[in-house]
Chains A and B, each alone.
Chain A
Amino acid sequence: MTVKSLDSEKCTGCGICVACCPMDVLRLDEETGKAFVAYPKDCVACWGCESFCPVGAIDVSPERGRGRMVSAY
């Protein structure tokens, strides 16, 4: 999983991370209204959520979600 941490204390439930995630990895919890990692395996570590999060609640690690890249050479 490449979203290393999502701090629910900091999260305000603004939904920006859900909106910017190109892979539909993040969702808002219906009960708490806060963001959570719903589909961790699909994260490609684009850093959109960490970049856009207005309160710095998300830390994404650099690893690619799924193994090594196919080499172009």
Chain B
Amino acid sequence: MKNIDKLGTVITTDVLVLGAGGSGMCAALKAKESPVDVLVLDKCGTGYCGQVPIGGGILAYVHPEHVGEWAERVTVQSGYFNNQDWTYAFGGDMHPTLMELASLGLTFLEKDGEIDILNWGPGIYVTLFDAPKSLVALKKTAKDRGVRMMDKIYAIDLLKRDGRVVGAVGLGLVDGKTYIFNAKATIIATGGCGYLHEKTYASCLGEGPAMGYRAGAQLVNAEFGSGYVWGTEVLGKELFGIHFYLYLENERGEKIMGKYYPELMTGTHSVYTFDPRVIDAMQKEVKAGLGPIYLNLKGLSLEEIAGLAEDQDTELTHLMANDNLRLLTDKAGIDPSKERIEMTPKYLYSGGGLRIDTACRTTLEGLWAAGSAGSNSWSGGGGGQGGLGVASAAVTGFRAGGSAGKYAASNKRYDVDATQAKRALDRVLAPMGRKGSVDTADVTYRVHEAVVPMKYNRQREAGRMKEALGIINDARGKLAEVGATDYHDLARYHSAESMAMAAEFTYRAALMREESRAAHFREDFPEKDDKNWFKWITIERKNGEPGLATLPVPLKDYRLQP
């Protein structure tokens, strides 16, 4: 690696894991089972980063004896549009994953000395874990096993040699150093794109899928998987609570869910903030002039309100940030037992991610993806429930780590090409020292104007989506006027660019898919069209532009047939 030291601090490892959230830590721990050196980086700090510690602490569960039944239900619900290889792999991995997480130090809800599995509705099983302490536990185990960890490193572009990924470049946010990482295997575990509109998951801004795309890896399903959650505007975040939907009402004080989804009003259901049925009811009411929508918990005691959340258990720790009652009373100055609270929808998550096989390999040699940075089509739009995010992070993390560890143990190292590293760094560092006239927050706001309105993203239509793409293009134009004085600013710049890219991919794929399916609804093509669209849409960089293509769902190779 001649001259490479002049470009930055060079660090060599066998398996490089980008992102130390749930998927990244699982990947690092599993990779370390091979005789290799493992280094995990995070733009925040190991033990406290990503979505898992600030999530609800819910892990989806499927009993080993019910995997077939579960996979069949998901497959039928999705109209056979899912990747059945992944559905079976995911379902089959859930039980061993739970056991492995417990052995790695996670604390789960227990009953009579066993991990307690809760039934949250027809065929829906979960267990609860101590989310705020979960990554601290994994960090301790990782440290004991010799996994190396670096905090406050913002990785933003991959390095390639002879077509394979050989590492990444990163910015030292605190030390101000430029880093060049050389690895035999690289795992992207940086999450998807959360967009910062809803602020629960502010760490995931699309950097991983964006860097994979720039390196030439294929993305898939960009038109699916995005959605809305609901909460108070003043708190700017979703309200966790699986029974709150029962208490949503319109301006007139009429309960709204039973009007559209009477089946949800009888029996026991867990309706999470991600559930599209709630957003659907809210939007219909507002369209009918019956908005705004309120959460009316008046008359209930604070204890009863806390009970409606159901994922709050006294045996496990809970973050103030996820405690609705404390946030409402202490932060927003609202007493939910005395006043009704206006609810607003918030946009959360881009769709899709890097296309991965059942070993979590991307389409690029030397590159894996885990967690929500990857997309494996396991659900195909079916099987929605709480706790899948963590289950998916762990399952894909373990699979990616296992595969990458074995690969690194049996393959030779390819050095970083100094010319290519310089080219990557020139791109990454370009805004440094540039006199900026626009703030990155304004770019983010412009991206929100394209992705948040339901007229663009929920009731999709060709003309309006082209309008949204125009707004994204305008955001990109603004980005060119952003300057950076230090690596903190530079990281904000690249996050904004990644968000704009995620938004563009969503609309490009949504424009191409001229039908309606799962959460992708086209006003101009309202019917499902299996004849023409029983295929997944991929995006891959071609001549510097996003090239879209289709991949037929390989139904004939799958176990279940319609």
Flag if B196 contacts A20 (CB, 8 Å). no
**Set of chain B residues within 8 Å of A44, measured between Cβ atoms:** 196, 199, 202, 236
The 8 A CB mask of B487-506 against A (1 = contact, 0 = none) is: 01001100000000000000
CA distance A60 to B283 in the complex (A): 31
**Set of chain A residues within 8 Å of B196, measured between Cβ atoms:** 44
A71 and B344 in contact, given A19-B48, A61-B331 (Cβ under 8 angstroms): yes
| Total contacts A-B at CB 8 Å | 117
Measured CB to CB, the closest approach of chain B to A16, in angstroms, equals 6
In chain A, residues 27-48, which have Cβ atoms closer than 8 Å to a Cβ of chain B?
27, 38-39, 41-42, 44-48
B300 at interface, CB cutoff 8 A: no
**Set of chain B residues within 8 Å of A20, measured between Cβ atoms:** 44-45, 48-49, 53-54
- The one of B151, B236, B344 in contact with A19, judged by C-beta atoms closer than 8 angstroms, is B151
Measured CB to CB, the closest approach of chain B to A48, in angstroms, equals 6
B320 at interface, CB cutoff 8 A: yes
Flag if B441 contacts A66 (CB, 8 Å). yes
Flag if A69 contacts B44 (CB, 8 Å). no
B452 at interface, CB cutoff 8 A: yes
CA distance A67 to B233 in the complex (A): 11
- The one of A24, A65, A67 in contact with B173, judged by C-beta atoms closer than 8 angstroms, is A24
Flag if A39 contacts B488 (CB, 8 Å). yes
Flag if B45 contacts A18 (CB, 8 Å). yes
Task: Provide the main secondary structure of the chain B interface.
Answer: loop
In chain B, residues 32-89, which have Cβ atoms closer than 8 Å to a Cβ of chain A?
43-49, 53-54
B203 at interface, CB cutoff 8 A: yes
**Set of chain B residues within 8 Å of A71, measured between Cβ atoms:** 344, 452-453
The 8 A CB mask of B309-346 against A (1 = contact, 0 = none) is: 00000000001111000010001100000000000111
Flag if A69 contacts B321 (CB, 8 Å). no
B101 at interface, CB cutoff 8 A: no
CA distance A72 to B291 in the complex (A): 13
Flag if A62 contacts B234 (CB, 8 Å). yes
Flag if B449 contacts A70 (CB, 8 Å). yes
> Closest residue to B449 on the A side, CB-wise?
A70
A50 at interface, CB cutoff 8 A: yes
The 8 A CB mask of B438-464 against A (1 = contact, 0 = none) is: 000100110011001110001000000
Number of B residues with CB within 8 Å of any CB on chain A: 53
In chain B, residues 226-284, which have Cβ atoms closer than 8 Å to a Cβ of chain A?
228, 233-237, 283
Flag if B54 contacts A72 (CB, 8 Å). no
Flag if A46 contacts B345 (CB, 8 Å). no
Measured CB to CB, the closest approach of chain B to A8, in angstroms, equals 19
A24 and B491 in contact, given A70-B445, A73-B345 (Cβ under 8 angstroms): yes
CA distance A64 to B233 in the complex (A): 9
B152 at interface, CB cutoff 8 A: yes
Flag if B331 contacts A64 (CB, 8 Å). no
A55 at interface, CB cutoff 8 A: no
**Set of chain A residues within 8 Å of B319, measured between Cβ atoms:** 47-48, 51-52
Flag if B49 contacts A19 (CB, 8 Å). yes
B371 at interface, CB cutoff 8 A: no
Measured CB to CB, the closest approach of chain B to A64, in angstroms, equals 5
**Set of chain A residues within 8 Å of B99, measured between Cβ atoms:** none
A15 at interface, CB cutoff 8 A: yes
- The one of B43, B200, B236, B322 in contact with A64, judged by C-beta atoms closer than 8 angstroms, is B236
Flag if A22 contacts B203 (CB, 8 Å). yes
- The one of A38, A41, A62 in contact with B331, judged by C-beta atoms closer than 8 angstroms, is A62
**Residue among A20, A22, A51 with max Cβ neighbours from chain B (10 Å):** A22
For this complex, 6 residue pairs linking A to B, each with C-beta atoms less than 8 Å apart, are: A20-B49, A23-B202, A47-B320, A51-B132, A51-B322, A62-B236
* Ranked 8 nearest A-B pairs via Cβ: A19-B45, A22-B203, A47-B321, A20-B48, A51-B319, A22-B202, A70-B448, A72-B345
